Chain A
Amino acid sequence: SQQGEEDPQALSIQEGENATMNCSYKTSINNLQWYRQNSGRGLVHLILIRSNEREKHSGRLRVTLDTSKKSSSLLITASRAADTASYFCATDAGETSGSRLTFGEGTQLTVNP
């Protein structure tokens, strides 16, 4: 079963707008990661936030983590058409689970030029 659940499942915005995607999970985690996938193929790692962190920035990306609510959000600011992709959150429960990642079902983001 999927650990993470993203919402919305699909998001369509205009270029220049901000995009916010949310992720909820069920068990304790070591860290939470966001990945991007183009055209159903390889995933690209975007950002990792550890369980003791609350917010992290990388370029136009901002990730927040609320471990009390078991939720995370990914904000993409000033979106571009090239940001069109599927975005997945993935939780890492730590070395006892082999650091396997448990993925949500993703948010399909479409940025219209």
Chain B
Amino acid sequence: GAGVSQSPSNKVTEKGKDVELRCDPISGHTALYWYRQSLGQGLEFLIYFQGNSAPDKSGLPSDRFSAERTGGSVSTLTIQRTQQEDSAVYLCASSQRQGRGEQYFGPGTRLTVT
């Protein structure tokens, strides 16, 4: 169906608050990825999910970051006790399966921590 969607598109939060970012992958895509892009930089891998396997969390920058993927579809990235350095665009991508190559990206959530 439609492409990858993310919500909210923009989020402004105060330092110390928790935020939740949502990603709806393309239907049928089993692999889901979260990336972070700081201003003027390339994308930094955070975490990926493949089917029912345990997620690869090796890119998460601290234990304040966590992510879930429910029912093999929607994913939520949670950042606890946000810091100013967490300000970035958070991008989600999905692909048909791991190793397929091409990833389809959502429009991203721009997070600003004040």
Binding site for B on A (CB under 8 A): 2, 4, 30-31, 33, 35, 40-45, 48, 88, 90, 92, 94-95, 98-106
Partner of B48, one of A31, A98, A105: A98
Q: State how many angstroms separate the Cβ of A93 from the closest Cβ of chain B.
A: 11
- Let me know if A106 and B42 touch, CB within 8 A: yes
Binding site for A on B (CB under 8 A): 4, 31, 33, 35, 37, 39-45, 48, 50, 56, 59, 89, 91, 93, 95, 98-108
Partner of A40, one of B37, B99, B101: B37
A41: chain B residues within 8 A (beta carbon): 89, 107-108
Rank and list the top 7 A-B pairs by shortest CB-CB distance, nearest first.
Answer: A103-B42, A103-B43, A42-B107, A105-B42, A43-B105, A95-B99, A100-B45
Q: State how many angstroms separate the Cβ of A84 from the closest Cβ of chain B.
A: 16
A101: chain B residues within 8 A (beta carbon): 33, 35, 43, 45, 93, 103
Known contacts A4-B42, A88-B42; A42/B101 CB under 8 A: no
Partner of A2, one of B42, B56, B104: B42
Known contacts A100-B45, A100-B56; A44/B105 CB under 8 A: yes
A-B contact pairs, 16 of them (CB 8 A): A42-B91, A42-B105, A45-B103, A88-B43, A98-B31, A98-B48, A98-B50, A98-B98, A99-B98, A99-B101, A100-B33, A100-B45, A100-B56, A100-B59, A101-B93, A101-B103
Partner of B31, one of A99, A103, A104: A99
Partner of B98, one of A31, A35, A95: A95
Q: Which residue of B has the minimal Cβ distance to A4?
A: B42
Partner of A45, one of B33, B37, B48, B104: B104
A102–B35 CA distance with the chains assembled, in angstroms: 10
Q: State how many angstroms separate the Cβ of B6 from the closest Cβ of chain A.
A: 8
B42: chain A residues within 8 A (beta carbon): 2, 4, 88, 103-106
Q: Which residue of B has the minimal Cβ distance to A35?
A: B105
- Let me know if A102 and B108 touch, CB within 8 A: no
